[in-house]
Amino acid sequence: MKIRNLTQNTVLALEAKTADTSLSRMTGLLNRSSLGDHEALIITHCQSIHMLFMRFAIDVIFVDRTDRVVGLVEGIKPYRLSPIFFKAHYAVEVKEGVIKNSKTQLGDQLALAG
């Protein structure tokens, strides 16, 4: 699945996978040692994340039901907890630096395709 930021006309990910079961949401990226430049994990029904037992830092974009960005966490490191974003419906975990490089901001409109 591809994720685009329509507001900034940038690409967040070309290969996004979805974690939509209890097990896949709980596991997230724990079994990974890194994320590629254009990879992402979409975690459904998510208002915050934990980085317990993670091996690398990531950026996280929290998005509401209308695909608007409602929260941003840049460079969250292992063994940290993100803030809670009560308006979020899902979270997009991407490689550290993607938020800055894509110029993603609060209120931006995202599009998920394919």
Contact status, residue 38 vs residue 78, Cβ threshold 8 Å: no
Each residue's pLDDT expressed in tens, for the chain with a length of 114 residues? 999 999 999 999 999 999 999 888 888 888 888 999 899 999 999 999 999 999 999 999 999 999 999 999 999 999 999 999 999 999 999 999 999 999 999 999 999 997
CB atoms within 10 A of CB 86: 11
Which strands sit side by side in the sheet containing 110-113, from one edge to the other? 10-13, 2-5, 110-113
Domains located in the chain, CATH noted: 2-103 (2.60.120.1140)
pLDDT at 77: 97
